[in-house]
Structure 1
Amino acid sequence: MSPDRPIFVIGCPRSGTTMLQLMLHSHERIAVPPETRFLLSTYFRRRLHGDMRDAENRRRLAEWIATDKATKFRELGVDRTSYVRRAVEGPGSLGSVMGEAFRAYAERFGKPRWGDKRPCYVKHVDALLRLFPDAQFVHLIRDGRDCVASLKEMPWFRLDVFHAIANWSESVDHGRDYAKRLPADSYYEMRYEDLTADPETELARLCGFIGEEFDPAMCDPHKIADMAVPAHKVWHDNTHREVTRARVGGWATRLEPWEIALCDQVLGSRLRAHGYEPGVSKASARHLLTYRKTVARRRLSRYKQQGRDRVNRLREPGPLPAMLTSGQLSLARIPRPRGSSQELIRG
């Protein structure tokens, strides 16, 4: 197994992905930054950025990543000028330009391997694989009712409970699809409840999947929370404490009876499939109809995005896959350089 494969943490929002990010970042060889916002936006706007074999296009894209407030680049703590320079001097592909930012972040901590965490990635694994074809995905799953209850309390979640329920349903459905068609060494599922009950055992298994030795520091993610979680994200306050199961099953008092009934009915089979026991309460016809309309609208929006992406794939502006890791170079059929990765073929 390649020792430098990117690791992506995915899952429904409020499923514990930030805690897992910190656990991975606590490993002596792995660096996983706070959420960034440039991977997907760059991918879906790739035609606007042009062919990355052109050094000037690499420069423009790297400067946008490093300066636009929406990208969250500043939270990486990486020197902007240095990043732009290494992106320009690096391989001529879209994934390489973005991958250089994460490599620079890992180098801040003297670590050889990087990861990234953003819950919505669970819906875009195929796009991420186009950019990082050797990537590994760790899908953290939590009881859907607890996710829904937590989402309702978030200041940034401006949708209703029907969208919250649909979000969890979509996440586990995507996971089921990935489990069927991705190689066993590329996709891994774990449960939040198991991870919080026995961190050492679950993290040791995770390390086996990513090809790393277990690092005991991973069991104490709160020790690095001040450094790796932006202070303005007050909804991640629990990450500054020891791993706890305090909120496992909290949905029973945090959801309204009608919300619990709706979860039981529309998520029942999915909950059982992941080891959770739904109740037997029935939702009202009105709530079921509203939920189904919500699901239909979300599905239509997703199909439209997929359609646009299929069209864009017919007119790719240039190479997409990163050429930075040993696995990526192998897939691109480029011999691994003897010295620095900066010796790679330039655009």
Structure 2
Amino acid sequence: MGNYAGPIFITGMPRSGTKLLRDLLNGHPMISIPTIETEFLPYWASHWEIWGVSQGSYESFLKFYHNIIQLPYFIYMAEMEKLIKPDVWYHACADFNVSAVFEALVRHDANIEGRMIWGDKSPGYIRHIPLLKKIYPQAKIIHIIRDVRDYCLSTNKAWGKDMRRAAQRWIDNIIKARKDGEDIKNDYFEIRYEDLLEDTEKSLRQICLFLDIAYQPQMVCLLKPSENIGDARGISGILKQNTKKYLTKMSFPLRKKIEHISYPLLLDLGYECKVFSSVKKIGRIELIFLRVLDGINLIRLRGKSQGFLKSLYFYMNSFIQIKEK
């Protein structure tokens, strides 16, 4: 086997099995990926020169540190009392370009020891594969895809998102990711969520081959639950029956609308679907309106546990982070 040291980027649409795949890969003794997704790398890349981190001085690094710890990743780490100290991070950096500073952070937060493969699981990077390869030419991308109908059900159940908008985002982002994957050839690996559930060992063996490492049998055993929301919440094992829920939980009219939006890609990915005479996309104005409603639902949902103002502050910082996407 080879000497690949990373990074691996696990990406895909949210609620498509990215957490499950991350935890399964973390079962390999040569892989370590943080349990919190970063999502901020595109934002960093577009602001790096403005922040002046490349100067390499501790003063400039400290200013950068206090600027970015308001982003969701660092808020989550602080809530778990695992927020990296600025001096620890600074001294762990081999250089002060964006790639080295990000790697130092991830290696620290993933508790990497020795020569292990480091990586990150961030669904939002599905739109940024070319940027990932620009920052890390050696990066390998694993893209996990879930049936759009079950994906829509899951996003609606988790966050109250409009399922028609979810379907349009699914097809737009996956088409782009697959095109970007073609451009990087052997550094892109695509897997269906349903195949991972049906034959987990086979899927993990294929991924290990992609990463040029030996498969380890313990990878198929989850030591703790991957999900904290959804039907797999609190389940330590692999919920193999977590597929085709749309057959019983989605109304036929809504299913028809979603398939009308996405059927060419569904068929191309090997999913069963009715064939229509044409694709019926959602218009730009309607998408904007539905996006606003989705945002309101997210703030309302988080506000139930943390209060409205704290929820609003959190998502304002999230918006600052993702507006470059």
Give the TM bin, normalised by the shorter chain.
0.7 to 0.9
Question: What count of residue pairs does the alignment treat as equivalent?
Answer: 286
Q: Determine if the alignment matches structure 1 residue 107 to structure 2 residue 111.
A: yes
Q: Determine if the alignment matches structure 1 residue 58 to structure 2 residue 58.
A: no
Q: Assess if the C-alpha contact under 8 Å between 1:11 and 1:141 holds in 2.
A: yes
Structure 2 CA distance, aligned partners of 1:168 and 1:199? 24
Q: How far off its partner does 1:114 sit? A: 1.2
Quote the residue 1:187 is aligned against: 188
Quote the residue 2:284 is aligned against: 293
Structure 2 CA distance, aligned partners of 1:237 and 1:64? 36
Structure 2 CA distance, aligned partners of 1:145 and 1:120? 19
SS at match of 1:153: helix
Q: Assess if the C-alpha contact under 8 Å between 1:103 and 1:113 holds in 2.
A: no
Structure 1 CA distance, aligned partners of 2:99 and 2:265? 34
Structure 1 CA distance, aligned partners of 2:40 and 2:265? 32
% same residue? 24
Q: How does 1:248-287 map to 2 (within 5 A)?
A: 248-280=243-275
Query: Which stretch of the first structure deviates more once superposed, 50-59 or 29-38?
Result: 50-59
Q: CA offsets, 1:54-98, max 9 Å, x none?
A: 324334324544x435233435936424533325x5312112111
Structure 2 CA distance, aligned partners of 1:237 and 1:201? 21
Q: How does 1:118-129 map to 2 (within 5 A)?
A: 118-129=122-133
Quote the residue 1:16 is aligned against: 17
Write the letter of the residue equivalent to 1:3: Y
Q: How far off its partner does 1:268 sit? A: 1.0
Quote the residue 2:239 is aligned against: 244
Q: Assess if the C-alpha contact under 8 Å between 1:106 and 1:112 holds in 2.
A: no
SS at match of 2:143: strand
**1:100/1:245 CA distance change after superposition, 3 Å:** same
Q: How far off its partner does 1:236 sit? A: 7.8
**1:106/1:113 CA distance change after superposition, 3 Å:** farther
Q: Assess if the C-alpha contact under 8 Å between 1:76 and 1:105 holds in 2.
A: no
**1:296/1:107 CA distance change after superposition, 3 Å:** closer
5+ residue gaps, structure 1, are 299-307, 310-347
Query: Which stretch of the first structure deviates more once superposed, 47-56 or 256-265?
Result: 47-56
Quote the residue 1:31 is aligned against: 32
Q: Assess if the C-alpha contact under 8 Å between 2:5 and 2:115 holds in 1.
A: no
- Find the partner of 2:153 among 145, 149, 153: 149
Q: Assess if the C-alpha contact under 8 Å between 1:63 and 1:84 holds in 2.
A: no
Q: Assess if the C-alpha contact under 8 Å between 2:39 and 2:123 holds in 1.
A: no
TM-score, structure 1 as length reference: 0.73
Q: Determine if the alignment matches structure 1 residue 204 to structure 2 residue 214.
A: no
Structure 2 CA distance, aligned partners of 1:11 and 1:124? 11
Q: How far off its partner does 1:138 sit? A: 0.2
Write the letter of the residue equivalent to 1:48: I
Q: How does 1:161-240 map to 2 (within 5 A)?
A: 161-184=163-186, 186-221=187-222, 223-225=223-225, 233-235=228-230, 237-238=232-233, 240=235
**1:13/1:105 CA distance change after superposition, 3 Å:** same
Structure 1 CA distance, aligned partners of 2:104 and 2:243? 38
**1:63/1:96 CA distance change after superposition, 3 Å:** farther
Q: Assess if the C-alpha contact under 8 Å between 1:52 and 1:92 holds in 2.
A: yes
> What RMSD, in angstroms, separates the aligned Cα atoms of the two structures?
3.0
- Find the partner of 2:45 among 36, 40, 43: 43
Q: Assess if the C-alpha contact under 8 Å between 2:84 and 2:109 holds in 1.
A: no
Q: How far off its partner does 1:102 sit? A: 0.7
Q: How far off its partner does 1:151 sit? A: 0.9
SS at match of 1:240: coil
Structure 1 CA distance, aligned partners of 2:272 and 2:218? 33
Structure 2 CA distance, aligned partners of 1:22 and 1:235? 16
**1:239/1:101 CA distance change after superposition, 3 Å:** farther
Structure 2 CA distance, aligned partners of 1:109 and 1:170? 39
**Higher relative contact order structure (alpha carbons within 8 Å, sequence separation ≥ 6):** 1
Quote the residue 1:338 is aligned against: none
Quote the residue 1:322 is aligned against: none
Write the letter of the residue equivalent to 1:205: Q
Quote the residue 2:299 is aligned against: none
Q: Assess if the C-alpha contact under 8 Å between 1:28 and 1:111 holds in 2.
A: no
Q: How far off its partner does 1:38 sit? A: 3.1
Write the letter of the residue equivalent to 1:116: D
Write the letter of the residue equivalent to 2:261: V
Structure 2 CA distance, aligned partners of 1:86 and 1:101? 11
Quote the residue 2:295 is aligned against: none
Q: Assess if the C-alpha contact under 8 Å between 2:22 and 2:121 holds in 1.
A: yes
SS at match of 1:183: helix
Structure 1 CA distance, aligned partners of 2:148 and 2:203? 20
Q: Assess if the C-alpha contact under 8 Å between 2:9 and 2:140 holds in 1.
A: yes
Write the letter of the residue equivalent to 2:265: R
Quote the residue 1:77 is aligned against: 82
